[in-house]
Structure 1
């Protein structure tokens, strides 16, 4: 397990990749802190000069105004640099998450709802972005500012310094109490949001089934329950946040009142608090600057604790076990000669319930076979083993002379094509549906694939041809399945894997798809799962399972 905080690791990576940005943030923080401490000192001189009857020199007034403007400019530049740095950190963190996603085994996706994974990238990633954009580095600057103010007050008013030394630890303990309560509420809220993000796509994906079974009230009640859990959690966090800031303001007013009362009690108290009129004005300004950062922390507790909960979720995601490399040991000679080979394969998703037991089957190059058997006997599981999504517990799985799972990503589409039951569109044009963004697929290969399945003329009649943006209603259900076949054969593979591709089609559309499949299957090895193919492909080998 990687014990290093993923955000801190991303910060270090950003500093190494963008050292100038990190240096700029550090310089601007120093300038912002320094310039913010100077105006009260100038104000003290101006007020003392005024009370002594000497008036305020214009140079002093100009210096005071100039320092305020300079302080605001430095703070603005600091916030901009912090936001820029935070964006780079968030970009690096999300890049790390994407790289991790590519290394996860298939069992992770079967055991975790898609909405939960998306929540890590979107919601938890946004909280990290907010952590920087809303001022975590600014809070570090406030801490430096706080130390500077305490140093100045030590030299100006020992009494005030003593009072603050008593008050600040109490406020720190109060802050920690609110942080713990808010953190628990934010964690519960993040979990509830993850469940909501899983529920919504699940509902949309199964909306027809839900409507057919009349389960809309059940799904609505379930959604309301999840939203209520989130609402209650965020309400608890809001209560902590709403109480904290008024406590800071009341404490600030009480400290100023104690100072004023103490300074008015006689020479001994006045010496202790060291207050002239100008000093009193400066001290009040500095007291406001002390409690200002604490109040800001109170306002930011929610985003900080939400980010901590997000960091925990991101850390858990990054700690997920990755795909174990498949053994690259040489295949037996008899398996290397086969187009597809399962040799004494035992496998299951649950260690206590194997689906395949000592299963063996092979296809010669150019042979076409159909897997038949009852649901649950392992037909689709064989495809998952062939595609390298899982590794068998025992035995060997090979295709086209390669051990399944060891084929480089860039070579897979040139070796085999897989046609699933449903067409899954990708963002982009009609051409992108065939190429899947693979630049190695040439325009000529796209045209040949579309012509092979009988869609070339249909696509050519579209306003922009292959460059027509993909959208709902552009193709019928049958045409989408033909496009699915075109996608599989675009790189001219030697092996086709067909998974019940006519299961959801009417008889007329099915006939058109089967004609396209017959053309696509010529000269290729074909392994299919389909009950209907058993009568449509007479003379082909049938492999019975179960």
Structure 2
């Protein structure tokens, strides 16, 4: 994870497993939305398993029809019972197939809703969350973790449902055949349950750790791939590979530990079940010798005992998969449970038509409240003015923008728009008052025209072209084979960084907002193009309030007011000429660039 200050902390370090009941309650909440499908699935599972449970009884009747005297076999009765067995098993298989299809459909709907809820909640989270969590870890929860839950719902839940019915039905049939033989399971079943519970408690934290380490591995992979040019430029391949290998080893160790202990459960429970079969065989033979049970009933009991112990063994075998699914579901629900961006104040109203007067009054703020970035910061921007904010790296320039956009709220002081405290304005309407252009360009998969018209999907082609011309990117677009209909991907390699930045500037020019924020928005274009863009933007934004953060001081010489920020405070303010004449901090920055 990365804090706003750039410091990293291990992803997953805050992972704490919740109890299984919590996860089951949350999953049950999603399943209940499809209660009719769930009831239909339960009916199919019940019917399929009850039909299958009739098979061992009919098998016992067929064996008794054979008799114990050689050569005296009642073939009509044997064929009668065998025919019914075949019919019941075929019908059971058909109902089981329908049950499987229904469960797969149900799991797909549940997972689709879960993924939709998760992504929708991501859109409601504050910027602070994304500043402090790795993108790869978040994507891992949307993809890997939810896919794990999907697999568990479509297969493991199906298995558990059918197994539970089989266990209960087999127990009832064995009780009807011979209560004496059933006494064997009074020892082996509690032993299986106690052992499975012990292993479950031991394995569950291991799967939580595995999910966390895999999430961290995804985050590191995303970080390395997205920054590959920088890695190669600094010959950092070995260092990045070493970090990846170390994280990969941690992930593999966590996965091995989870799988190692997870796979111990199945074989051990299988041993206990085989022990029960051995005891049933010995005790059953003794009862048969004393005439307490027929050979057919003994055969049926043995078959029922296998149906009884088999599902218990299967549940134990999938216990590790269930633990993995629970750990994955916990990570998904933990993200869904993250507090969203605070709701607007009860008395907050839409911004409406604004003049563009912005004022920061003695604002103090820190991403970490114990380490303030802005201290007693004040700023006033009259309507239609151009305000430039300059200063050394880390002075708090971008933080001012974060506060203006209400990505964060100050710990003290007030920010006012047209005299209204911004916390009394709805966030959505406040942000629509601004057009924001950042140094980091962002293009989505779509055509060039769609990217320019991102904030105004209803814009006409003429308006899109006019914005592109104002941003001096029209000529480049016209030379492309498909012009404005040229498809782009988010990481379009055929377009330079400067051209990407001019596309985002064209996007900003198309949005008719009252205020404009440029955060190093022309840093990726050459000086000549920058001057042309600045002139076009100045003309376009005439009468609108503009905030410009720039390291190139040559681009802000025409600003109405220049604020020099240092250590979170405004140390100087004025126009370009007066600040140079003063010979203070601004003059030092200016001459450092031009000498």
The match for 2:162 is: 141
More deviation in 420-429 or 106-115? 106-115
Q: Offset of 1:280 from its aligned partner?
A: 3.0
The match for 2:408 is: 390
The match for 2:28 is: 11
The match for 2:48 is: 32
The match for 1:448 is: 466
Preserved CA contact (<8 Å) 2:405 2:431: no
Instruction: Please say if 1:499 is aligned against 2:519.
Output: yes
The match for 2:453 is: 435
Instruction: Please say if 1:380 is aligned against 2:361.
Output: no
The match for 1:529 is: 549
The match for 2:250 is: 229
Q: Offset of 1:13 from its aligned partner?
A: 4.6
> How far apart in 1 are the matches of 2:408 and 2:494?
35
- Cα deviation 1:28-78 (Å, max 9, x = unaligned): 122122112111111112222123611144443321111111111111211
Aligned match for 2:324, one of 289, 301, 306: 306
Instruction: Please say if 1:514 is aligned against 2:514.
Output: no
Equivalences for residues 105-504 of structure 1 within 5 A: 105-265=126-286, 270-271=291-292, 274=293, 276-327=294-345, 338-399=356-417, 403-404=421-422, 411=429, 415-436=433-454, 439-471=457-489, 472-504=492-524
Q: Offset of 1:134 from its aligned partner?
A: 1.8
Q: Offset of 1:361 from its aligned partner?
A: 1.3
Find the residue that maps to 2:184 and give its secondary structure: helix
Q: Say if 1:48 and 1:436 are closer, same or farther in 2 by CA, change over 3 A.
A: farther
Q: How many residues align?
A: 539
Q: Offset of 1:320 from its aligned partner?
A: 2.5
> How far apart in 2 are the matches of 1:402 and 1:269?
96
Find the residue that maps to 1:543 and give its secondary structure: strand
Task: Provide structure 2 residue ranges, at least 5 long, that are not aligned to the other structure.
Answer: 1-17, 567-595
- Cα deviation 1:237-273 (Å, max 9, x = unaligned): 33234433333444444333333333334656552xx
> How far apart in 1 are the matches of 2:514 and 2:334?
41
Q: Say if 1:213 and 1:454 are closer, same or farther in 2 by CA, change over 3 A.
A: closer
* Superposition CA RMSD, Å: 2.9
> How far apart in 2 are the matches of 1:314 and 1:330?
32
Equivalences for residues 46-85 of structure 1 within 5 A: 46-51=62-67, 53-57=73-77, 58-85=79-106
Q: Say if 1:107 and 1:339 are closer, same or farther in 2 by CA, change over 3 A.
A: same
> How far apart in 2 are the matches of 1:379 and 1:249?
65
Preserved CA contact (<8 Å) 1:452 1:519: no
Q: Say if 1:422 and 1:144 are closer, same or farther in 2 by CA, change over 3 A.
A: same
Find the residue that maps to 1:134 and give its secondary structure: helix
More deviation in 522-531 or 233-242? 233-242
Task: Provide structure 1 residue ranges, at least 5 long, that are not aligned to the other structure.
Answer: none
Q: Say if 1:437 and 1:168 are closer, same or farther in 2 by CA, change over 3 A.
A: farther
> How far apart in 2 are the matches of 1:524 and 1:233?
56
The match for 2:592 is: none
> How far apart in 2 are the matches of 1:330 and 1:247?
63
Instruction: Please say if 1:544 is aligned against 2:568.
Output: no
TM-score between the two structures when normalised by the length of structure 2: 0.83
Instruction: Please say if 1:45 is aligned against 2:61.
Output: yes
Preserved CA contact (<8 Å) 1:453 1:520: no
> How far apart in 2 are the matches of 1:261 and 1:329?
80
- Cα deviation 1:472-510 (Å, max 9, x = unaligned): 234222221110111112221221100012334443553
Q: Offset of 1:293 from its aligned partner?
A: 0.9
Q: Offset of 1:402 from its aligned partner?
A: 5.8
More deviation in 216-225 or 45-54? 45-54
Preserved CA contact (<8 Å) 1:450 1:486: yes
Find the residue that maps to 1:135 and give its secondary structure: helix
